Amino acid sequence: MSRTRVLDTVDEAVAGVEDGATVLVGGFGLAGMPFDLIDGLIRQGAGDLTVVSNNAGNGDVGLAALLRAGRVRKVVCSFPRQVDSYVFDELYRAGKVELGVVPQGNLAERLRAAGAGIGAFYTPTGAGTPLAVGKETRVIDGREHLLEYPLKGDVALIAAHRADVLGNLVYRKTARNFGPVMATAATTTIVQVGDVVPAGALDPEAVVTPGIYVDRVVRVDARRYTVEGAR
Amino acid sequence: MSLTPDELAARVARDIPAGAYVNLGIGQPTKVADHLPADLGVVLHTENGMLGMGPAATGDDVDPDLTNAGKVPVTELPGAAYFHHADSFAMMRGGHLDVCVLGAFQVSQHGDLANWHTGAPDAIPAVGGAMDLAIGAKQVFVMMTLFTKSGEPKLVPSCGYPLTAVACVSRVYTDHGVFAVGRDGVTVLETFGTTVGELSARLDVELTVLTR
- Quick: pLDDT tens for B43-91: 999 999 999 999 999 999 999 999 999 999 999 999 999 999 999 999 9
Q: Looking at domain B5-209, what is its CATH homologous superfamily? A: Glutaconate Coenzyme A-transferase (3.40.1080.10)
List B7, B47, B190, B206, catalytic entry = B47
The angle, 0 to 180 degrees and rounded to 10, between the axes of the packed helices B85-93 and A104-116 is 120
Please report the residues numbered 79 through 98 in chain A whose beta carbons come closer than 8 angstroms to any beta carbon of chain B.
79-82, 89, 92-93
In this complex, do A104 and B166 lie within 8 Å of one another by their Cβ atoms? no
Taking the C-alpha atoms of residue B179 and residue B191, their distance in angstroms, rounded to an integer, is 9
Class of A5-102+151-222 in CATH: alpha beta
When the pLDDT of each residue in chain A is averaged and rounded to a whole number, the result is 95
pLDDT score recorded for residue A231? 39
Per-residue pLDDT, averaged over B158-180, amounts to 98
Secondary structure letter of residue A173 according to DSSP: G
Interchain CB contact of A227 with B (< 8 Å): yes
Q: Could B132 and A29 be called an inter-chain contact, meaning their C-beta atoms sit closer than 8 Å?
A: no
B42 in helix, strand or coil? Answer: coil
List phi, psi (to 5°) of A7: -105, 160
Which pLDDT tens digit goes with each residue over B94-124? 999 999 999 999 999 999 999 999 888 888 9
Query: In degrees, to the nearest 5, what angle opens at C-alpha B98 toward C-alphas B165 and B7?
Result: 85
- The ipTM of this complex is 0.94
With CA atoms as reference, the chain B residue closest to A54 would be B128
A172 touches chain B (CB under 8 A): yes
Whether residue B211 is predicted with pLDDT greater than 80 in this model: the reply is no
Concatenated DSSP letters of B174-210:
ESSEEEE-STT-EEEEEESSS-HHHHHHH-SS-EEE-
A52 pLDDT tier (thresholds 50, 70, 90): very high
Residue A182 is given by DSSP the state H
Give the residue extent of every domain in chain B. Answer: 5-209
Q: Is the pLDDT of residue A2 over 80?
A: no
Enumerate the residues of chain B whose CB falls inside 8 A of the CB of residue A34.
none
With an 8 Å Cβ cutoff, is B95 touching chain A? Answer: no
Q: Which pLDDT score, from 0 to 100, does residue A224 have?
A: 64
Contacts of A103 in chain B (CB under 8 A): 127-132
Contact B85 A178 (CB under 8 A): yes
User: Which B-chain residues 144-183 have CB contacts (< 8 A) with chain A?
Assistant: 162-166
CA nearest to A183, candidates A78, A127, A111: A111
Is B47 catalytic? The answer is yes
pLDDT at B119: 84
B129 touches chain A (CB under 8 A): yes
Residues of A in contact with B90 (CB under 8 A): 109
pLDDT digits (tens, 9 = 90+) for A172-220: 999 999 999 999 999 999 999 999 999 999 999 999 999 999 999 999 9
What average pLDDT does the segment A35-59 reach? 97
8 Å CB contact of B86 and A111 = yes
How many C-beta neighbours within 10 Å does residue A153 have?
A: 23
More confident residue, A169 or A30: A169
Q: Which of B23, B71, B102, B164 should we substitute to test contact with A (largest number of A Cβ atoms within 10 Å)? A: B71
Confidence check: pLDDT of A37 > 50: yes
How far, in Å, CA of A87 to CA of B128, rounded?
19
- Tell me if chain B has a CB within 8 Å of the CB of A137: no
Asked whether the predicted pLDDT for residue A228 surpasses 70, the reply is no
Amino acid at B206: E
User: Residue B153's CB: how many other CB atoms inside 10 A?
Assistant: 15
Name the residue type at position B142.
Answer: V
Q: Is A224 on the interface with B (CB under 8 A)?
A: yes
Q: Which residue of B has its CA nearest to A122?
A: B93
Q: Are strands A169-170 and A153-160 parallel, antiparallel or unpaired?
A: unpaired
Do B132 and A106 form a contact (C-beta atoms < 8 A)?
A: yes
Res A227: pLDDT: 53
Q: Three-state SS for A2?
A: coil
Helix, strand or coil, per DSSP, at residue B151: coil
Kindly state the average pLDDT of the residues B13-27: 96
Distance CA B155, CA B146 (A): 7
Mean pLDDT of A165-171: 98
CB atoms within 10 A of CB B15: 16
Q: Could you give the 3-state DSSP secondary structure of residue B92?
A: helix
Model confidence over A98-140: pLDDT tens digits? Answer: 999 999 999 999 999 999 999 999 999 999 999 999 999 999 9
Which of B62, B84, B129 lies at the smallest CB-CB distance from A181?
A: B84
How confident is the model over A81-110, as a mean pLDDT?
Answer: 96
Please report which confidence band the pLDDT of residue A73 belongs to, taking 50, 70 and 90 as the band edges: very high
CA distance B70 to A37: 25
Please give the DSSP secondary-structure letter assigned to residue B165: B
Contact A128 B166 (CB under 8 A): yes
Is some CB atom of chain A closer than 8 A to the CB atom of B88?
yes
* pLDDT(A229) > 50: no
Question: In this predicted structure, what is the pLDDT of residue A165?
Answer: 98
DSSP string, A40-67: HHHHHT--SEEEE-SBS-BTTBTHHHHH
Report the Cα–Cα distance between both ends of chain A, in Å, rounded.
Answer: 42
What pLDDT, on the 0 to 100 scale, is given for residue A68? 97
